[in-house]
């Protein structure tokens, strides 16, 4: 699943190609995604100019000043910028065509993504989201305060989008390793000082991933078709039973919330 760094990488990649350009056509080939594509999308977007591309959590927004397109990639969605027409593939569900011939194409093999038209800033999917992990609001003090009555494992705690957005499975694994915290520890048993380390680790891991272009998963490549490279420097994720790069202890793997968790039994306490 594309996570926050992949979405931010896509945002930065498509922005220079579509900002300042007028939409002349919207082609919806398959409206049935996780939620149906907004019926009014074509009518509302056609004739408007994209003034900016923004992101909130894993949602991407094409802003027009009087409404916006909200895109979520789901499990396998991606966007491509085409500068000349290319015949659509089986999983190319939507095209946004601009006045200069540029096409923004939404592809989603598993169809768990979504495309909405919003007249304002409100949407039910955005109402309960926590702070952005790279914002000043996200701190160790914030995490410690919210964790006091929560017995859930700390990894699941930081993956809760109502606590903080965009810390997906890969980056939760990596941040907990960097902070030296065992993923199965109860959130309310972790001290303020260790949450300070964890908040800093989350920021560091996500910043590195964005700079590197995101982590390539099986179903995700960047908007220009080339892969991200952050997967080459993952410390624990995907390395179960391999030596810890710090101490040499074999990394262990467990399941948490139906997902793989890899950690060092020596370095993470």
Q: Is 82 helix (H, G, I), strand (E, B) or coil?
A: strand
Cα 93 from Cα 72, distance rounded (Å)? 13
Separation in Å, CA 40 to CA 116, 122, 195: 9, 17, 45
Per-residue tokens: 228: 């991200």
Query: Is 56 one of the catalytic residues?
Result: no
Contact 210, 8 (CB under 8 A): yes
Per-residue tokens: 67: 């409404």
Cβ within 8 Å of residue 260, ≥6 positions away: 169, 173, 237, 240, 253, 254
Catalytic residue among 2, 5, 133, 183: 2
Instruction: Give the orientation angle of helix 192-212 with respect to helix 140-147, to 10 degrees.
Output: 120
Query: Is 58 one of the catalytic residues?
Result: yes
H/E run at residue 142: helix 140-147
Catalytic residue among 11, 55, 58, 252: 58
Query: Is 255 one of the catalytic residues?
Result: no
What do you get for the CA distance between the two ends of the chain, in Å? 28
Catalytic residue among 21, 110, 185, 259: 259
Catalytic residue among 3, 6, 8, 223: 3
Query: Is 39 one of the catalytic residues?
Result: no
Which residues are the active-site residues?
A: 2-3, 58, 259
């Amino acid at each position: 699943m594309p996570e926050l760094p992949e979405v931010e990488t896509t945002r930065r990649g498509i922005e220079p190609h579509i900002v300042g350009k007028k939409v002349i056509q919207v082609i919806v080939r398959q409206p049935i995604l996780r939620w149906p594509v907004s019926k009014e999308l074509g009518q509302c977007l056609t004739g408007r100019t994209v003034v900016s591309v923004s992101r909130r959590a894993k949602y991407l927004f094409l802003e027009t000043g009087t409404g916006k397109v909200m895109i979520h990639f789901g499990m396998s969605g991606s966007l491509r910028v085409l500068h000349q027409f290319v015949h659509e593939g089986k999983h190319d569900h939507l095209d946004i065509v601009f006045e200069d011939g540029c096409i923004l194409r939404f592809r989603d093999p598993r169809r768990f993504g979504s495309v909405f038209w919003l007249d304002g800033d409100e949407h039910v999917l955005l109402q309960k989201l926590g702070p952005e992990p790279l914002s000043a609001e996200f701190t160790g003090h914030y995490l410690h305060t919210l964790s006091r009555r929560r017995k859930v494992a700390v990894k699941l705690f930081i993956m809760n989008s109502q606590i903080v957005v965009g810390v997906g499975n890969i980056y939760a694994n990596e941040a907990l390793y960097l902070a030296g915290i065992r993923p199965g520890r109860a959130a309310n048993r972790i001290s303020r000082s260790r949450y300070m380390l964890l908040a800093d680790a989350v920021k560091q891991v996500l910043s590195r991933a964005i700079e590197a272009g995101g982590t390539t998963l099986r179903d995700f490549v960047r908007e220009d078709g080339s892969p991200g490279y952050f997967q080459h420097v993952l410390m624990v994720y995907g390395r179960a039973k391999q030596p810890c790069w710090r101490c040499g202890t074999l990394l262990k793997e467990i399941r948490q919330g139906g997902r793989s968790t890899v950690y060092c039994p020596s370095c993470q306490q």
